[in-house]
Amino acid sequence: MPTALIVLAAGQGTRMNSELPKVLHQLGGAPLLVHALKSGASIGAERTVVVVGHGGEDVAKAARDWDPDVHVVEQVDRNGTAHAVDQARAALADFAGDVVVLYGDTPFIRSETIESMIDARTKNAVVVLGFEARDPARYGRLVLSGDRLEKIVEFKDATPEERAITLCNSGVICADREVLFDLISAVGNDNAAGEYYLTDIVGLAVDRGLSATAVTCQESETMGVNSRADLSAAEAALQSAMRAEAMECGVTLIAPDTVHFAHDTVIGRDTVVEPNVVFGTGVTIESGARIRSFSHLEGCHVSRGATVGPFARLRPGAELAEDVHVGNFVEIKNALIDEGAKVNHLSYIGDASVGEKSNIGAGTITCNYDGVFKHRTTIGKRVFIGSNTMLVAPVSVGDDAMTASGAVIVRDVPAGDMAIARADQVNKTGLGKRLMDKLRARKAAKN
């Protein structure tokens, strides 16, 4: 049976105290909305509709950046969850199959849970996702008779007996598209909030003789983000889960609590990650690498056997081949460092390629930016770049060539050549001492 996804992302999120729409606050380097969309993508949804409202253009852009084929519809007047879902009616008018409703601020619903709901849908008209709450607080309650779900009662409308129920509503619902929108058409707003509740479709379905049931999950899956404190708790939960998964897959984390992952970090087994490492988005580390302490990586690829850090920064486009060494206080950006090459100390290599077995001396800089355009530096194989060399791009250094320490290279260096590009040294007899004596005297007079 085909499946479609509706993600509700219209809320303002006033408790976030932010101009940014709630669903665009980031978790593991990606907007909350993307986490919900990933859940839908993992079940192979044939169509996805995102319902936007506050900050709609920005939310729509984030959704399309993740999935260019997503359908975006707007909820102009926010009159409740049933009204929000109803905005997707036209976008799904020609769709025949099940529809799953998720929320852009609820990032942890697992694909296995959604699949369980879809399985239950084969025997029921409506399936609701519930959880046993440690503190039911103000959650809606699921009223069951055996496996039969009779109704969902919002806390503010519940009786004392209904408030004693601990099985709570997550808001996630699965139903056939035709049934879903038919039931929504009958939803009223005769309640304490004057809103159209999506939860009311359960009672309406039962009144029509249709069956409804609940699938349960761990409460942690249903964690919603409504405040900065919630966002912090969600980040902690994500990091804990990703650290555990990495170690289960054969990655050594020497001090797990100090390592910070992005939602899409990929690390091969037998890699060692030392304390206080931060992974931004778009990082892949192959097996057997070592990422040393206080390094920051984003948008890069590190191959087998490479070593990075300590205190290294790999920026987007950094590509490290096998057995590369990138050392302390080195920054690599949009550059290929080929097999066995070394950039060990205090260097910046940007918009460049470094050939295999080459050695980049301490303090080397590829001067890639002229204030308007970026230019590329090409360094060949087995090249030795002397310490404190400035490579003024565009420039190339051929295989087996060398540069002298302190050189400023402004022209190509042919293969095998030695480039010396610095002013002649002149020693002025006694001038150093005379100058310092004069300056010290001036300082003493001033004081």
Q: Which residues are catalytic?
A: 345
CA separation for the pair 61, 175 (Å, rounded): 28
Yes or no: say if 268 and 288 are a contact pair by the CB < 8 Å rule.
yes
User: Which amino acid appears at position 111 of this protein?
Assistant: S
C-alpha distance from residue 433 to each of 392, 425, 438, 445, 447 (Å): 35, 18, 9, 18, 21
DSSP at 294 = T
Q: How many CA within 13 A on the CB side of residue 371?
A: 0
336 C-beta neighbours (distance < 10 Å), count: 19
CA separation for the pair 274, 154 (Å, rounded): 48
Sign of CA dihedral 237, 242, 243, 248: positive
Instruction: Please report how the helices 200-207 and 177-185 are oriented relative to each other, as an axis angle in degrees rounded to 10.
Output: 100
End-to-end CA distance of the chain: 87
Yes or no: say if 350 and 335 are a contact pair by the CB < 8 Å rule.
yes
User: Which amino acid appears at position 151 of this protein?
Assistant: K
Kindly give the pairing relationship between strand 141-145 and strand 148-153. Answer: antiparallel
DSSP at 359 = E
- How is residue 17 written in tokens? 């105290």
Yes or no: say if 251 and 139 are a contact pair by the CB < 8 Å rule.
no
Please name the helix (run of DSSP H) or strand (run of DSSP E) that holds residue 141, with its range, or none: strand 141-145
CA dihedral 427, 432, 433, 435 (to 10 degrees): 140
